[in-house]
Amino acid sequence: MTEQLKTYNAIFSDGHFEIEQLGRLINKGGAAGKIYACVKHPELVAKIFHNRSKSRTNRQKLEAMLQNRPNILPIESHGKTYVQIAWPEALLEDEKGFCVGYLMPFINTDDAVSLDHLMQKAVRQQQHLSERYKDRIDAAFNITAVVAALHQCGHYIIDLKPANVSVYKDNMSVALYDCDGFSIKGPRNRYPAEYVSEEYIYPEGMNKSPEEMGEEQDKFALAVIIFKLLNNGIHPFAGTLRKKDNAPLDIQTRIEQYHYPYGIWPDEYQDPHPYSIHAYFSPETLKLFDRAFVKNQQRPSAKEWYEHLKFLSNEKHQKQCPKNSDHVYFTNKGCGLCAVEDKFQHRLQDLKKE
């Protein structure tokens, strides 16, 4: 019998049972499992695990997720529903009682793109995405809202990076998948994450496994994502070497050694990227980034970023650029986006002359 024709017991959070039949294979999924359509509940999809030897652990983790659900509701806009998180709705078991997967809301991937695609202008143009700076601020705000709601329940993403976050093209709302890979707080135990990605690992976590990581990892990775969204995709630990004889370090090593060049105090190893607009950030934004990336500081929580980005995303607090309607800025220094674009054009002209 093919997987598509199989039926499983679906056990929902309120304890009631239903029989669910799998439909077509939607995609082969990632390392954890395949994704199938559901016949009885077309608004849901089924994730069927590849490895069923972890049936007991998977069941316990899923039960903890069903009991401790974050307050992240779908967004209704212009007659469409935007699901922000593929959180489990029911666990699935076979006729022998083994946990084989779970049901979760269907997220239409045609409406969303990877957050990576928002970072740089060339990619945005290639993907026909909005050039409005306000949209990138809104995306950052929406990410902080989701992360803050997860943290309120004691859950942590751990492998938080742009490639693992999608945003809807229409309204910059967030879409999060693979929630069974998060670090989940249960009533008695924590069910840890298994993965974390370089360039987003907090300095103090370099010698820790993903299973040992918690909120500090999310706080650091979230700040990196916000910095990249606000600064044209530039990583907060990427810069230009101050001395030619300095050994080139990869990004994660620069993180480990706290070589953050965009702070109030200069970094001894590197200067800021020449096309960074951080100098045009508001003082409050710069202070939050200093707290996130400078040694011996208390990193801002997701809720703090949420409150700050809520302020920035309000049009009343934005200054409209007179030269480009896609640009907004926040201080009397003027439009940083225009300043960097002018700098880039002058550099191109100099290169042509050379």
Instruction: CATH number of the domain at 82, please.
Output: 3.30.200
Q: Pick the closest to residue 92 from 24, 19, 41, 27 (CA basis).
A: 19
- 180 and 241 fall within a common domain: yes
Q: So what's the pLDDT on residue 348? A: 74
* pLDDT of the chain, 354 residues: tens digit per residue: 456 579 999 999 888 999 999 999 998 766 678 999 999 999 999 999 988 778 889 999 999 999 999 999 999 988 899 999 999 999 999 999 999 999 999 998 889 999 999 999 999 999 999 999 999 999 999 999 999 999 999 999 999 999 999 999 999 999 999 999 999 999 999 999 999 999 999 999 999 999 999 999 999 999 999 999 999 999 999 999 998 888 899 999 999 999 999 999 999 999 999 999 999 999 999 999 999 999 999 999 999 999 999 999 999 999 999 999 999 999 999 999 999 999 988 877 766 776
| Cα distance between residue 107 and residue 83, in whole Å | 6
- The greatest distance separating any two alpha carbons of the chain, rounded to the nearest whole angstrom, comes to 75
| Cα distance between residue 163 and residue 62, in whole Å | 24
Flag whether the pTM goes above 0.75: yes
- 5 and 40 fall within a common domain: yes
**What helix, strand, coil percent values describe the chain, rounded to 5?**
40, 20, 40
Q: So what's the pLDDT on residue 259? A: 97
Domain residues for the domain of 67 are 1-107
Residue 138 belongs to domain with CATH number: 1.10.510.10
Cβ proximity of 55 and 47 under 8 Å: no
**Summary mean pLDDT of the chain:** 94
Residue 60's SS3 state is: helix
Last residue of a domain, one of 107, 138, 173: 107
Pick left, alpha or beta for residue 128 (phi over 0 → left; psi -120 to 50 → alpha; otherwise beta).
left
284-327: per-residue pLDDT in tens?
999 999 999 999 999 999 999 999 999 999 999 999 999 999 99
106-162: per-residue pLDDT in tens?
998 889 999 999 999 999 999 999 999 999 999 999 999 999 999 999 999 999 999
Last residue of a domain, one of 107, 125, 147: 107
Cβ proximity of 251 and 198 under 8 Å: yes
- 145 and 257 fall within a common domain: yes
Tally of structural domains, the chain: 2
- 113 and 42 fall within a common domain: no
Q: So what's the pLDDT on residue 350? A: 66
